[in-house]
């Protein structure tokens, strides 16, 4: 590792990479090719079986803004922490190897953050995936554009940030380094990414959603070694953490925020059901039993009850069978969900991409 630039950059992008040669060059170029020079890119290379390390080292030889860190961990969140230790920027943005930044995204995020003294600036998120025929599909998500310059203003619009996926995934967001350090936040010490984000935003005062900055997040398949019960438990933890945050704000009974949290939870559940139903290493009887456990869980029933008549139907074809506790129809619906446009993509990322990279 070599920290070669003495000046302090405006932003440090911390990129975690492992067995990444298929996508790494695109990720590196999307950062170093920005029309914005005040950036430090920290590539944290986890133990890899391909050319990931050599790709990073060769790129570092050509660009003084790139520093390479070798980390003895297979945990992406721990790799982010390793990169944070050498990051020098006033702002930090975490990134995964398969993702990339849209043109001028960093410049627009940093400009917004510096202009208004923000705790965080959030881009729009383009969720990119390949269908069964190899065709690429993109879905844009994020809170409506705006700058919230007080704690009360941000909280009044928190439901839009929950709906837009702001509490789902750590990557792509521009964070104030001072705030990270003041809170002693380290990703590897939190239960999951939602816990990290809820802690960061719990007392945040100045936050913006920047509509003309885009972060591209590529969807990943979940290894079959990852248990669906583990994915479901992550969904439940995220649900409880967001409800805890709402209560800490004195907004436990705020209808808009509550509905956003319930809807986010059901989207995660739908994603888990689709994941279970996509697997071929379990029998149909076992698959149905696992789905039944999910839809009969107290947190699922609570969310279904809260959304009944006030927004459940916009969750797509899966909401009805979940509401009726019909595991068999859930499994059948999961098979046809892609034909109707699955609603589960947004909330799947937190559980699934972490598992896929790790």
Place of tokens 């809807």: 263
Q: Residue 358: its pLDDT value, please?
A: 41
Q: How far does Cα 313 stand from its chain's mean position? A: 25
Confidence (pLDDT) at 38: 95
Residue 169, token pair as written in the block = 């995934």
3.10.20.30, 3.40.50.150, 3.90.550.10, 3.40.640.10: CATH of 11-218: 3.90.550.10
- Phi, then psi, of 67 in degrees rounded to 5: -115, 140
This prediction's pTM: 0.90
Report pLDDT for 337.
63
pLDDT at residue 219 in the model: 72
Say which DSSP state 134 is in: S
Contact of 320 with 295, CB cutoff 8 Å? no
Query: What's the CA gap between 236 and 234, in Å, rounded?
Result: 5
| DSSP bridge pairs for 15 | 43, 95
Residue 2 CB neighbour total at 10 angstroms: 12
Q: What is the pLDDT of residue 32?
A: 97
| Side-chain half-sphere CA neighbours of 18 within 13 A | 17
Q: What is the pLDDT of residue 130?
A: 58
- Determine whether 285 is exposed, middle or buried from the number of CB atoms within 10 Å of its CB (0-12, 13-18, 19+): exposed
User: Domain residues of the chain, as ranges?
Assistant: 11-218, 228-357
- The pLDDT averaged over each successive group of 10 residues in the chain (358 residues) is 65 97 96 94 97 97 97 96 98 97 97 97 87 67 95 97 95 98 96 96 97 90 60 93 98 96 94 86 90 96 91 79 95 74 47 45
CA-CA-CA-CA torsion for 345, 122, 356, 341, nearest 10 degrees?
A: 10
Question: Residue 111: its pLDDT value, please?
Answer: 97
Q: Tokens 């925020």 label which residue?
A: 257
């Amino acid at each position: 590792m070599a920290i070669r630039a003495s000046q302090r950059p405006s932003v440090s992008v911390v990129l975690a990479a492992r067995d990444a040669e298929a996508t790494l060059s695109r990720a590196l170029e999307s950062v170093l090719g920005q029309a914005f020079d005040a950036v430090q890119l920290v590539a944290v290379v986890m133990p890899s079986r391909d050319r990931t390390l050599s790709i990073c080292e060769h790129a570092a030889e050509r660009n003084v803004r790139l520093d390479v860190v070798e980390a003895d961990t297979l945990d992406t969140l721990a790799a982010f922490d390793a990169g944070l230790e050498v990051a020098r920027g006033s702002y930090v943005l975490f990134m995964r190897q398969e993702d990339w930044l849209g043109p001028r995204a960093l410049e627009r995020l940093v400009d917004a953050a510096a202009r208004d003294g923000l705790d965080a600036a959030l881009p729009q998120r383009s969720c990119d995936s390949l269908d069964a025929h190899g065709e690429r599909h993109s879905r844009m998500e994020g809170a409506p554009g705006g700058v919230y310059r007080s704690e009360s203003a941000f909280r009044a619009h928190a439901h839009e940030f929950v709906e837009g996926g702001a509490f789902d995934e750590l990557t792509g967001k521009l964070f104030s380094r001072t705030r990270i350090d003041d809170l002693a936040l380290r990703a590897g010490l939190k239960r999951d990414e939602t816990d990290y984000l809820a802690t960061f935003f719990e007392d945040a005062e100045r936050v913006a959603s920047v509509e003309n900055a885009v972060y591209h997040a590529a969807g990943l398949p979940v290894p079959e070694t990852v248990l669906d019960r583990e994915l479901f438990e992550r969904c439940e933890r995220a649900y409880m953490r967001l409800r805890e945050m709402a209560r800490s704000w004195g907004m436990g009974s705020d209808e808009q925020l509550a509905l956003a949290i319930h809807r986010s939870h059901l989207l995660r559940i739908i994603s888990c059901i689709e994941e279970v139903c996509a697997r071929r290493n379990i029998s149909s009887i076992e698959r149905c039993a696992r789905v039944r456990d999910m839809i009969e869980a107290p947190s699922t029933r609570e969310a279904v009850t809260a959304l009944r008549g006030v927004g459940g139907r916009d969750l797509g074809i899966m909401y009805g069978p979940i509401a009726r506790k019909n595991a068999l129809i859930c499994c059948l619906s999961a098979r046809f969900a892609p034909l109707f446009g699955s609603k589960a993509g947004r909330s799947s990322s937190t559980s699934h991409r972490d598992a896929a990279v790790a």
